Structures are given as C-alpha cells and as structure tokens.
Amino acid sequence: MRPQKYQKIDQNSDYPCPCRRRGKLQPIILTEAFGCDRCQQIFVVQENGQTIEQLASHYPYKRVWRWTGFRWIAANSRFGEGFLPVTLGIILLLMIVWLPLMIKSPSNISVIFWAILAMLLVILPALIFWLAYRR
C-alpha cells in the first residue's frame, strides 16, 4: 500500500462529507468549522490544519479524518490495523488445535460436537471483526 500524502485543509473551500452521505462540507462563517449540508454534522479543523474532527456527543470515541486531496481517510484507524492479524491468528490457532482433536475422537457424535464447537469459535472472531468495521 502506498503512503498517503495529506493536504492542509483550506477554510475557504468546499469538501465532500466524510460520513459518506453525499453531502458537502461548507465553511461556517467566523469559525474554524465546517457544516454538512446533508447530514447536518459539524466538523472542527484541528490545530495542525490537516485533520477534522466530528463534533457529536453520541459517539464514545473521536472520529477524525485527513484530507488527501481527493477523499477523506480515517485518521484513527489503528484499531483495525492490529485487529485483523490477531483475528486471523486466532482462527489459525484454533484450526491447528481443534483439527487433531476432531481426528482423534473415537465416536461420530464426538466428531460432530468438535466440528460445531470449532465452527462457532471460528465464526465468533469473524463476527467481532464484522461488527468492528460496519458503519
């Protein structure tokens, strides 16, 4: 993946809304903020001038974006960068541990039990990953 070059946000320009609702960010007069004409959200330009933060009290974490010149990139996406390898590692470890246990079990009922248990333990991290990345 090539590195992104971020641009400084111009207070006098219009930008697309980072919430992906096809709105346009327009500067709010006499402030260092932008307002979306579609979703009615307010975004404040950070001190460095390269990031905007969504002002919303109903989110437990800050939503911050950087402008590349063409689109917005989420600035606080480090959670996802570490979560995918951990999820894949857990799935791989479960398959390595559960597969020999399923093969060595003596009865058919035991094999079915181990298969169902292994599938549930593989689906659970995938479900957590999906919930973490959905919008």
pLDDT in tens, 71-106: 888 876 555 556 667 777 777 777 787 677 667 767
Residue 54 has pLDDT above 50, yes or no: yes
Which of 57, 118, 25, 132 has its CA nearest to residue 10? 25
Residue 62 has pLDDT above 50, yes or no: yes
pTM strictly above 0.85: no
Rounded Cα–Cα distance for residues 69 and 5 (Å): 8
What are the residues facing 44 on neighbouring strands? 33, 53
pLDDT in tens, 112-128: 777 777 778 778 877 87
Packing angle between helix 78-104 and helix 108-133, nearest 10 degrees?
A: 180
Residues with Cβ within 8 Å of 24's Cβ and at least 6 positions away in sequence, in order, are 14, 15, 16, 17, 36, 37, 38
Enumerate the domain spans of the chain.
15-74, 78-133
Identity (one letter) of the amino acid at 123? I
pLDDT in tens, 35-53: 888 888 889 988 778 888 8
